[in-house]
């Protein structure tokens, strides 16, 4: 990602969402070229064309976002994207060795409790609901 970040640096509107769109576009281009190796004039060709159209659309969208004058709207999109992204990467970064992860029975808030402490009462910091759990 290093070169891409350097390329985007200082460019107006080049945010994480545009960067992610670029990455998706590159990925789709790669996948479509792999598909094109298999068979021309078969269903693989249709898949290839569809992937090409989608990847081009994704690139156009990324470039359009970078040069868009509606910065507040683009910023909102980026924040929405970052929220989803953090939730996604946070799930992978969970330390399952030392903590137990659970959701509150009432408000579904995500809770983290140290592992190996036996049975304990956990109070949800969001809604105050108490739960007895085994760690
Ligand atoms: Zn709760």
Distance 95 CA to ligand 1 centre (A): 21
15-63 pLDDT tens trace: 899 999 999 999 999 999 888 887 666 778 888 889 999 999 999 999 9
Distance 127 CA to ligand 1 centre (A): 4
Q: In terms of domains, do 88 and 125 share one? A: no
Residue 8 phi, psi dihedral angles, 5° rounding:
-80, -20
Distance 107 CA to ligand 1 centre (A): 4
Number of separate helices (H) and strands (E) present in the chain: 4, 4
pTM, full prediction: 0.61
Q: In terms of domains, do 46 and 30 share one? A: yes
Q: Count of domains in the chain?
A: 2
Q: In terms of domains, do 32 and 48 share one? A: yes
Q: In terms of domains, do 87 and 125 share one? A: no
Distance 111 CA to ligand 1 centre (A): 9
Q: In terms of domains, do 123 and 73 share one? A: no
Domain that holds residue 103: 99-134
């Amino acid at each position: 990602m290093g070169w891409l970040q350097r390329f985007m640096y200082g460019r107006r509107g080049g945010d994480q969402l545009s960067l992610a769109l670029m990455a998706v576009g590159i990925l789709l281009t790669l996948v479509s070229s792999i598909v094109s190796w298999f068979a021309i004039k078969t269903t693989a060709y249709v898949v290839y064309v569809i992937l090409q159209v989608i990847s081009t659309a994704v690139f156009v969208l990324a470039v359009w976002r970078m040069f868009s004058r509606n910065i507040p709207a683009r910023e909102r999109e980026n924040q929405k994207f970052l929220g989803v992204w953090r939730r996604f990467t946070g799930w992978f970064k969970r330390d399952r060795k030392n903590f137990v992860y659970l959701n509150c029975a009432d408000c579904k808030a995500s809770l983290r409790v140290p592992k190996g402490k036996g049975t304990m009462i956990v109070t949800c910091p969001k809604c105050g609901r108490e739960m007895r759990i085994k760690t």
